[in-house]
Chains A and B, each alone.
Chain A
């Protein structure tokens, strides 16, 4: 189980780090294998920061992230590599995730040399074929090609295949389909759901509420780094209690219902991050598996 316990991340900004910016404040949740948990928030909500902290690309300023009872901040060298056998990530821009001067399948070679140096080439080839099949890719279509010769959907699926080669238990999917076309989005999304059925735990980070609703079991709504509402997806979407969640849901463009026209709204002054309260708001349990921030 992957647990976040009162995790916060504060950046020092300005010259000589005089100012500070709290990107994530007091966030706690648990992720089990076979569960999809969505982190939903707008830009600046801290969702990507949380993803990167889970992937050990950033360190939390306070709080802890534990994997199977071990604090991941303590991992180094060999232990960190073991962690990466269990937890991997896929990012938003498929074309940025590949080094453009090398062929796309180099990512598999890297996994082979770093994690499975004793596996023979033939055995590796078989494992690769299995992984490609799990993501519905044909080996002749995608191997020995440069990234610019493949589509965004294929590149994202190759990254999922790479993660599967490691036999991971948790995948951090950070906006992985937002740069894909509508017709390929749903395929990658279905792939994630399929993997979840087979026991993978997915941390699904997105700003798109309909995607979160489609695929996840648990949902967390984030605003300016704090959790505003969290719980089972049907409850959060079906019965949103926090005004921010309600506002978000009301702003989503639907296909069978028009927006309620409220006239043009918007802040009339320049935007600065709102004065942050010293403490993140407390979460109150409103019903079973449904918590709402009290502010």
Chain B
């Protein structure tokens, strides 16, 4: 939607026909966002790495010749095409490639589910506290503070003691339910600032209910913020999962990237120079989380006109 920058002037007797030249932005809305998005190097860089890893996670397992937990008969150790151990084997003879692609898949699953749950809870708590204010806000604030302060490791240790089998889903749900407080705080603050704007009152005067106002007036205004927040929660969930796995609190029925690192360190892979065991998972975690964060910085520049280079 663009208008001509130079407009012909109407005669002085009919001022209502003076065409107003376009405002500073050349286009508006989605087109403008895409225009800047496709030119932002950080965004493109982050997006391409994440997409590459995602494709690897989806299609990689089809190329694995062995299961991730299978103890192989030949201890190939080093990476070799013989037997299809492209990333070599662990000290116990398990195929590192199989474990790697399995772990990569699990990382994305944890990110999506854990990040998704955290985002959902943060939105419910943040929007409600910001919109309602008053007593509701105080109660939700207290809840947020309590969850923020709970020592997650201690809690997880207690849970681990009670559950004999913990799957990736349990881990994702746990992460989702404990990593939302900072996001809820941020959303609450944003909601506060939007609620004081008159267009919220105008929506009320049009007979709109609170729920309608939150989802149709306030949330769309924050859509870029919500998007970036989800990406951040996604990355954080993967990082938390890797940390928990590394100290042994990961899923008990599968191998994730963090657990690969844990096992490799336990088996003195560092001292034995078994680099193919700990490097791939470490680099992968770094790559996913790093590229997500870089993507976020790029997105911030795309969405926020003040940050764009002129």
Contacts and interface: CB of A to CB of B under 8 A. Distances in A.
Q: Do A's and B's CB atoms come within 8 Å in the complex?
A: yes
Interface of A: 55, 57, 80-81, 84, 88-89, 91-93, 96-102, 107, 110-111, 114-115, 138, 141, 146, 148-149, 159
Contacts, number: 52
Interface string B214-244: 0001001100000000000000000000000
Given A88-B205, A110-B208, A111-B206, A96 B23 contact: no
A85 to B, nearest CB: 9
17 contacts: A57-B204, A89-B205, A91-B198, A96-B197, A96-B198, A98-B199, A99-B217, A101-B221, A107-B206, A110-B203, A114-B206, A115-B207, A138-B16, A141-B16, A149-B20, A149-B23, A159-B202
B199 A101 contact: no
B231 to A, nearest CB: 20
B47 to A, nearest CB: 24
B28 interface: yes
Given A55-B205, A57-B204, A100 B221 contact: yes
Contact of B199 (A81, A88, A89, A99): A99
B202 to A, nearest CB: 5
Interface of B: 16, 20, 23, 28, 197-199, 201-208, 217, 220-221
B207 A114 contact: yes
Nearest to B200: A99
Given A57-B201, A91-B201, A99 B221 contact: yes
Nearest to B203: A110
Contacts of B203: 110
B201 A101 contact: no
A153 to B, nearest CB: 12
A102 B202 CA distance: 14
Contacts of A99: 199, 217, 220-221
A138 B28 CA distance: 23
Contacts of B208: 110, 114
Contacts of B201: 55, 57, 89, 91
Contact of B207 (A80, A98, A100, A102): A80
Contacts of A148: 23
A158 to B, nearest CB: 11
Nearest to A52: B201
Given A100-B221, A146-B28, A93 B206 contact: no
A81 B205 CA distance: 8
A92 B199 CA distance: 11
A97 B221 contact: no
Nearest to B3: A149
B220 A101 contact: yes
A88 B197 CA distance: 17
Given A84-B206, A99-B220, 9 more contacts: A57-B201, A57-B204, A97-B198, A97-B199, A100-B221, A114-B207, A115-B206, A141-B16, A146-B28
Contacts of B199: 96-99
B198 A93 contact: yes
Nearest to B16: A138
A97 B207 contact: no
A146 B197 CA distance: 17
Contacts of B204: 57
A88 B206 CA distance: 9
B16 A110 contact: no
Contacts of B197: 96
Contact of A84 (B20, B28, B198, B205): B205
Contacts of A101: 220-221
B67 to A, nearest CB: 50
A97 B206 contact: no
Nearest to B222: A101
Residue from the set B23, B202, B221 with the largest chain A CB neighbour count within 10 Å: B202
A81 B207 contact: yes
Contact of B206 (A96, A110, A146, A149): A110
A159 B207 CA distance: 15
A263 to B, nearest CB: 40
Contacts of B20: 149
Contact of A97 (B16, B202, B220): B202
Contacts of B23: 148-149
A174 to B, nearest CB: 9
A108 to B, nearest CB: 10
Nearest to B223: A101
Contacts of A100: 221
Nearest to B204: A57
A224 B198 CA distance: 24
A100 B220 CA distance: 10
Nearest to A110: B206
A177 to B, nearest CB: 15
Nearest to A100: B221
A101 B225 CA distance: 14
Contacts of A102: 220
B221 to A, nearest CB: 6
A135 B104 CA distance: 62
Nearest to B194: A99
B3 to A, nearest CB: 9
